[in-house]
Amino acid sequence: MFREWLIQDIERAAVKSDRVVISDPSKFLAGFSSFSGYDLITLNSNAEEMEARIAAQTVHSGKKVILLCFFPKHDIRHLLEFAGIGAYVDFDNPDSYIRKKLYESLGVNVGLPEAKLLLSAKLSDGKDLRWWKGIVNEAIEPLDKYELLPGFIENPVRFKEMTDEDVYAVFRDEIFKHMGKNTMPLDAPALLRELSATIFAGLAYNNISESLLRLYYWWCNSSNLQEAMKAQLSAWNLPANVRLQTAHPDHPFVALDKKVIEEIGRCLRNGISYIDLADALRKRIKSRHAETFKPSWLEDLLILLDFDSSSMYRYDSLAKVTEYYRTKFAKLDAAMRHLYNQWLSEPQLLRPLQELYESHLKSLLSVWFSCAPQSYQPTQLGIVAQALTEGNKVAVMVCDGLRLEIAEAIAAKLKNTAEISHAVRYAKLPSVTENGMSALFGIDEVVTTTAPRFAKLQGTFPDVDIRWFDRLGSDVSAQKLVVLYGDIDNVGEHKGLAGLKDINNYEAELADTIRRLHGIGYQKVFLTSDHGFVITGILDEANKIIAPTGVDVKERFFITDEFINDSGFIRREDNFPGSSYQYYAKSDKPFKTRGAYGYAHGGFTPQECLIPMYCFNSLRGASSLKVEIENKVELSAVTGQYFSVKLSGNDNSKGKRLRVHLYVDGFSVNANIVKISDTGDATTEFEVESGNMSIIVQDIDSGAQLDSAPVIKSHSRDIDDLF
């Protein structure tokens, strides 16, 4: 606001001259590096007047010039005459100048101290009269540190260079006041280090002041300043005596979080209670502040520490243990998978956690193997076909290697946008891809290629669209859609435990895909899989299972035509190519084979055999907006160079704007926006393209797909071609 007042006075002074003289002996305007529309010449004494005149007439010839004199008006000798009558702004007394302007604007005499008034003027850029009213009435302070902090934190050196000295001094005083310390003459980088160190020390010992804690939360929530905080953290050493139990729960210290893992491992190895650590961890997770600096694996660690398997013996049937796994143990499996991903490269930290997990897993497998061998019957056959009958427009996502706990994690992400049915099926054994995929598509024998599987499904649903995930574009329009997602099994088999990071990302990718399918009109989306998998984690040689000699050993089972009477193995008499019997170990550990270990499937554990048939029914519901392509018959035999698309809609469609896409070979090559008329119709035109064409009609507001139709060019010659 002050700058505007000054510019207005300069403009009035420049009415008769292109040269304006300003006297400013206090150098108040020294921080004004430019005046819009004017060249600036500064003078420190009247000895420079002749040089300034020459510069104005040569270097700045033909331009508007401000001659800013850092000495009083009575010392100016020739410039006033040079500039002309009236081409002068008196700024000998900034205090009086600003009070006069405030009286003219607000109609009040200002009683603020001179220092505060001048500071307010320097900080008034971008402010309006309401701000000035707050300053004059002392309802607000002129310096808002939160306006200056971003520039200070991001680049303290540049901040100091660009900030008026008086403003910087007041800002520095404010920062020291927040730190509860006496002001010291520190430059900006040193001041930032001092502020950071004070915050970090307060968080480490949980004695940080309320005002400093608010500043810290503000810094954490400023996404563009988080890298600056990380830089300050890397330069600050965490004291050795800091513990999670006594630190502030919202601390940003990676080293302290890692220290918690070390302390818990020590407690587990020595049989010492870790209740106080778990309580501190719970408090840290519960707080919603500074979440950027709280690693997600903290929640996984707490799930592991809090898990109680003491009542597992009560689940004494296959149905009960299946439901127990889905509702309770799946969360533990997901947590352990995340911990493996985080700490696998540091086995000394991971091993105690893995041993705690394995103690719970041992209880689960004991119950599982006491009831599953007698009552287990695969229920995987024909899942895809069954799902496609569940509505008019249905999509089924068929995943390779999606274990139940991942499906549960996906369901958790979508619980607010979909009604979810958590149906669990039992995989065909052995739980390998060629077996499970064949069964999913309705083939009750091992088929190793996709063609027979797809043909089986197409025999029931001739118009089903079967696509690999990477070909799932916006041109999808089929009423029955099957999406094949093979990344999980592929990355697991090729990368082993190194692929866990990728698998973590697939949770979000699959959840986003289900949302996208809902958005383009698939009310129901099913999620299923051929099999799950187990993670061996840190695997010692002694943990590998030795199979009998003379059998065909796979990673998680072996097959043979021989009847082997050994209570250490579960025997199933079932035909699998090359054998009459299948044998499974009562363990999640692999048989000793050649090749890499880490990610495995084919065995008889809940992690491998329980597969999802989850239905995600969109809560958005069916749209009341109905629009159809009216001339689908014509589009099936297009002649000529152009063709029309005619739309017809219900009452709710009138006045709606729609986007009509022309797709060629799966890619949108053209799109027209149309508006449904008051009579409920609309027409648009496209040019015929070479390739497989289709039309898709989309609601612009919701993105929902309303209708579609193939466009087929007729091979018969039309009348235009004859003449």
Q: Is the pLDDT of residue 35 over 60?
A: yes
Mean pLDDT of 181-196: 94
CB under 8 Å to 375, separation ≥6 — which residues? Answer: 317, 318
Mean pLDDT of 676-700: 90
Across the chain, mean pLDDT equals 89
CATH topology of 383-618 equal to that of 627-722? no
Cα(184)–Cα(178) distance, integer angstroms? 13
Whether omega before 430 lies within 30 degrees of 0, making that bond cis, reads yes
Strands (E) located in 78-236? 88-90
* CB of 516 closer than 8 Å to CB of 420: no
* Predicted local confidence at residue 719, as pLDDT: 43
* Predicted local confidence at residue 492, as pLDDT: 55
Percent of the chain's residues with pLDDT above 90? 61
Cα(301)–Cα(58) distance, integer angstroms? 75
Domain boundaries, the chain: 2-92, 143-295, 312-370, 383-618, 627-722
Mean pLDDT of 436-441: 95
Q: Is the pLDDT of residue 332 over 60?
A: yes
Cα(69)–Cα(48) distance, integer angstroms? 10
* Predicted local confidence at residue 595, as pLDDT: 60
362: left (phi over 0), alpha (psi -120 to 50) or beta: alpha
For 502-534, write each residue's pLDDT tens digit: 777 888 999 999 999 998 889 999 999 999 999
In this structure, the chain runs to a length of: 723
- Determine the residue type at 425: R
* Predicted local confidence at residue 36, as pLDDT: 77
DSSP helix/strand/coil, 169:
helix
Q: Is the pLDDT of residue 709 over 80?
A: yes
* Predicted local confidence at residue 720, as pLDDT: 47
Mean pLDDT of 609-625: 85
Alpha helices (H) in 520-583, listed in sequence order: none
Rounded to whole angstroms, what are the CA distances from 14 to 46, 63, 67, 287? 22, 12, 12, 60
| CATH class for the domain made up of 627-722 | mainly beta
Dmax (CA) of the chain: 118
Q: Is the pLDDT of residue 718 over 50?
A: no
What's 653's DSSP letter? Answer: G
Cα(264)–Cα(268) distance, integer angstroms? 6
Q: Is the pLDDT of residue 439 over 50?
A: yes
CB under 8 Å to 656, separation ≥6 — which residues? Answer: 625, 627, 649, 675, 676, 699, 700, 701
Model's pTM, two decimal places? 0.75
pLDDT bin (cut points 50, 70, 90) of residue 366 is very high
* Predicted local confidence at residue 471, as pLDDT: 87
**Pick from 621, 693, 705: which is nearest to 658 by CA?**
705
Report the CATH number of the 383-618 domain: 3.40.720.10
For 375-422, write each residue's pLDDT tens digit: 999 999 999 999 999 988 999 999 999 999 999 999 999 999 999 999
Two tokens at 580? 């009459």
Q: At what angle do helices 145-154 and 210-221 cross, to 10 degrees?
A: 60
DSSP codes of every residue in 215-234:
HHHHHHH-GGGHHHHHHHHH
CA torsion through residues 274, 276, 277, 282, sign: positive
For 302-315, write each residue's pLDDT tens digit: 999 999 999 888 89
For 85-113, write each residue's pLDDT tens digit: 878 999 999 989 988 988 888 888 887 77
Q: Is the pLDDT of residue 450 over 80?
A: yes
Report which secondary-structure segment, H or E, holds 723: none
Q: Name which of 205-219, 300-314, 467-481, 677-691 the model is least confident about.
A: 467-481
**Which is more confidently placed, 624 or 554?**
554
Q: Is the pLDDT of residue 445 over 50?
A: yes
Rounded to whole angstroms, what are the CA distances from 52 to 21, 77, 204, 530, 689? 11, 12, 59, 85, 71
